[in-house]
Every structure is written in structure tokens, then in C-alpha cells.
Chain A
Amino acid sequence: MTHLFEAFNIALRMIVTGDSVVFSIALRTLLIASTSTLAATLLFVPLGCMVHFSTFRGKRLAVGFIQTMYSVPTVFVGMLVFLMVSRSGPIGGMGLLFSPWAIILGEIVLIAPIITGLTISALQSTGKCLEDTATALGAGRGIMILKVLTEAKYTMLTSVLMGFGRAVSEVGVAIMVGGNISGYTRTLTTAIALGVGKGETASSIALGLILLFLAMMVSIVVNLLQHGHGGEK
């Protein structure tokens, strides 16, 4: 117990004094998760909009499928991406395996369903009502879409944040396709996995607290957005 207490103390000191190893890992994690989230946002928020605003056969089935994929296991995505980017895989020639780019690719795949699905949900919850009203008032389709997007923007941003939250805290993809290379592909989660195994309790706790902080920040911002649309107006 004293051992744990001591380790906790050292961990806090590491955070307060800005331990360079701990913070470079945190920064790298942030960079990788942000890049994946940005790419996934640019790809899948528009996709979610397209799905919502178009009508096609099997739409309900498609949306259901996307929502089912929210819980795709990270190690499954890790395995798929490993087989894709390994030298003997289909895009192995790009030499992505064991680089941050492989992790980014995996995280994009991982959070694609969340961002697409939650974007659709956000637009749906804004309501058929608004769409009908806008149309009834004689607004063209373009104006109607713009109205709905404006109304749903904060809820849509929530979907992006949820994606970021999953990307920053996942370990399966990062360890399988990143390889936990010191100074290159080591992220908060993989560093913790290694550190606990090696009995490096203090630094693991420090990394864990930072990860917890990041994950909680996401929840807090999501909460702020959902209640009162944040303070940026």
C-alpha cells in the first residue's frame, strides 16, 4: 500500500514538473488521435449528411449496420489493418506498418462508424419537424439542408468528440500496428500496458492520469455542448 502511495506521489510530481518522457508520449498520443479524428471527420461527417439527406432503398438497414459497428473490437480492427499494411499485404508496399500512420489508419477505421452514425443521429434528432416547417414555408431543398445543419451543429460536433475519445483511449490498434516503439509509436495506452508489465508503477500512473484527463475533457466538452451549446457564442 505504501508502495502504491509512493508511486502516486512520484506520478503527480512527474506531471507537475513536466517529465519530458511522459509529456512527449502524451503529445504524440494527442497528435495521432487528432489526426485520425480530423481525417475521419472530413470523410465521415459528409457521409453521414449524405445518408441522412438522401433517400435510398435499404437506408434503415444501412443506418442499423453503421450503428452496430460502433462496438467493433479494437483488436479486430488492429488485425485487419495489420494484414493490410504488412509488407506481404495488399498495401504493404507503402511501408506503413509500425509507423504512426498505421495507427492513424486503424483509428480512422475504428471511429468511422461512430462519426458517421452519430452524425446521422444528430441530424435525425434535430427533427423531421424542422425539415417539414422549412419546406412548408417555401424554403428550397438547399435552404432546408442548411437550416438543419445549422441547428444540428453542436450535436454533430459531439459525434466528432466521441470519435476522438475512442481514438485516444484505444490500445488494440496502437499495439498491433504501431508496435509500441519508444519515441515513435509509443502512445499513452501502449506505454501503460508495457509499464505495468515491467513494474514501472509511477510512470504508468502518471500516464494513466493524463489519459484519464483527456478522456474526461472530452466528456465535459460534450456535456457543455449538449446543455446550453457551450460558451463560445
Chain B
Amino acid sequence: MKRSLAVSLFLLAFVFAGCGEESEPPQTAEAAAAVEKVSESAATPPMARVERLRVATTTSLYDTGLWGYLEPMFEDRFDVELDVLYAGTGKAIDWGKRGDVDVITVHSRAREELFVSEGYGVERVPFAYNYFLIVGPADDPAGISGMNPEEAFAVLMDNGEAIFVSRGDDSGTHGKEKSIWTAAGFDYDSDVRTAGAWYVEGGSGMGPTLVMANEMQGYTLSDIGTYLAYQGDLDLVPIVDQGDALLNVYSVLQVEASGNPELSLALVEFLTSPDIQQLIGNYGLEVYGIQLFTPCAGQEI
């Protein structure tokens, strides 16, 4: 018992030595190489105590790679580890209410305003917008091309066969979808969710939902940014892209309960600063040929 415990302890100690903060010098050349390789990729040791700021973001700002692009800039400028957590707007707001994150970047105006008026958020600060699209198979089985989104949804309901994959995750996109159903004259819970097998509640982020719609050759509502970021892997094409209902505004909100108000505010100011606004406007332009996000700091939308 004693010896086997000693052996396992030794094995564990070896693993720790490989990546701990105060590791002893590695014994062999290979071990040294292994340690070096890892410390290259990880800016800090995995469990070191450094200042951290948490931002919960809607999946579209994560899946497009925008946060991955901005994160190191913020970290360099303020010498802090920024932890980016991706979730639907509903979950991000819930984390904010619980005080588990410092800042949220989401896209659902009504819920953001409620978040602020209930005393959980400091202020709703819009920083970028783009548009939603209804994407679907190129042959457009329900024939909704060129319609406005409300008409398109009514036709889908009538059709009852063409598949529509809903986010179904209480996200901002899901909220937008619900509001379009309402505008089209349907009650979401009693008419839409029970409409039949063609209405699929996916329950995951924007990227996985697009992949799912692609697999099922169905329609889905997507923000343009995530769609473009995933387009290479998809056969889906934009079917409906006209209509006031499709405006998609991203806001940043400092969480009232944040333990680090200075840095939280710094992140809000960072996103709305002229140089970062310009970078947001240019993000993805080279890769996709069109703008993913239109910066809008200071505008009331």
C-alpha cells in the first residue's frame, strides 16, 4: 500500500512539476523541451493567481472570432487576464444577475433595459450592429426567398414540412425569432413550439445551430457574422435578408455586482473607444469581403 501510494504520488508530482508555477528544473532534455513548448502557448501558468476579469458574451461575438481578436489587445493594455465565457444572451444575463461575471456583451434590447432597471447592470452601451438573416437550403423548399421575415415565417407555418431549426436556448437570437413569430401573428408557446416535427429546438449556440440546420437541410435565423464565419462549412445560403425586424444591436453592460468596477468600466470604454471601434468595423473584412459588424458607439439604437 505504502509503496504503491508513493509511486502514484510520484507520478502526480511529476505531472505537477511539468506545469506548476514553481516547478523544479526538469531532469531531462525532453522534459525541458516539453515545459518550454507549453509555456510558449499559455501566457500564464494554468493556476497562477493573477488579476482576472470575466466577460460573458453572446455566442455570435465568440463564434465569429471577434472576442478572440480583441482579447489580447485588452489584456496587453490593462495587464489583466480576460476570461471570455460564451453563452446565449439569457444565460449571460443570468450570470450577470448572480454576480458571476463582471461585464456582459449581449444583443436583446428589451432584456438589457430590464437588466439595468432591475439594478443588475450599470448602463446599456450599444457598440456594434449587424443584421440577421434567414438562411436555408439553396433550393428554398418553402419558397420564402425575397419575402420579409414575418411573411416568411407565416409561409413556413403553412408549409408544415420544411424544417426550421430554432436556437431554442433563450438567447438573443432566439428572442428575435420569437418576436418575429409574434409579429407574424402566432403565439410562440401554443402555436409554434407545438407546430410539429418541422420546428426543431436545437438548444445550442449559433455556430452549432447552423451546423445542425445544414445537416437537416433546414432553415434557421442567424446573425450575419456567425453565418459568414461558418459559411465555408455550410451549404446554406441567405434566403431572407430584408426587413426592419432583422436589425441586430450588440451592447456592452457593466455588471453592478462586479468586484472590479474600474476594470469593468475600462472594458466598456475599450469597446467604445475610437481605435477599437475602427478595428471592430474592419474585422473580417479581408476574409469575408464584407463588414461583419458596423461600429455604433454613441448612437441611440
A and B, one complex? yes
> In whole Å, how far is A127's beta carbon from the nearest beta carbon of chain B?
16
> In whole Å, how far is B95's beta carbon from the nearest beta carbon of chain A?
8
Closest chain B residue to A3, Cβ basis:
B233
* In the complex, A20 has a CB within 8 A of chain B: yes
> In whole Å, how far is A71's beta carbon from the nearest beta carbon of chain B?
24
Give the docked Cα–Cα distance between A10 and B146 (Å): 41
Residues of A close to B232: CB separation below 8 A: 199
* In the complex, B29 has a CB within 8 A of chain A: no
Question: Which range holds the interface residue count of chain B?
Answer: 35 or more
**A41 x B42 contact (CB < 8 A):** no
With contacts A20-B41, A98-B85, A179-B83 known, is A34 near B12, CB below 8 A?
yes
* Stretch in contact with the other chain, from B107-115, B123-131, B149-157, B201-209: B201-209
**B83 x A153 contact (CB < 8 A):** no
Q: Which residues of B contact A (CB under 8 A)?
A: 1, 3-5, 7-9, 12, 15-16, 18-19, 34, 37-38, 40-44, 46-47, 54, 63, 68, 81, 83-86, 98-101, 204-205, 207-208, 211, 230, 232-233, 257, 259
Residues of B close to A219: CB separation below 8 A: none
* Stretch in contact with the other chain, from A58-66, A84-92, A128-136: A84-92
> In whole Å, how far is B267's beta carbon from the nearest beta carbon of chain A?
16
**B211 x A197 contact (CB < 8 A):** yes
**A34 x B15 contact (CB < 8 A):** yes
**A28 x B19 contact (CB < 8 A):** yes
7 further A-B pairs in the complex, CB-CB below 8 A; given A34-B15, A154-B4: A24-B38, A35-B12, A38-B12, A98-B54, A98-B101, A153-B5, A181-B85
Residues of A close to B3: CB separation below 8 A: 153, 232
With contacts A183-B42, A199-B230 known, is A88 near B4, CB below 8 A?
no
Give the docked Cα–Cα distance between A31 and B48 (Å): 13
Interface size counted on chain A using CB atoms at 8 A? 42
What are the interface flags for A91-108 relative to B under an 8 Å C-beta threshold, 1 for contact and 0 otherwise?
A: 010010110110000000
**A24 x B84 contact (CB < 8 A):** no
**B99 x A88 contact (CB < 8 A):** yes
> In whole Å, how far is B235's beta carbon from the nearest beta carbon of chain A?
13
**B100 x A98 contact (CB < 8 A):** yes
Residues of A close to B15: CB separation below 8 A: 30-31, 34
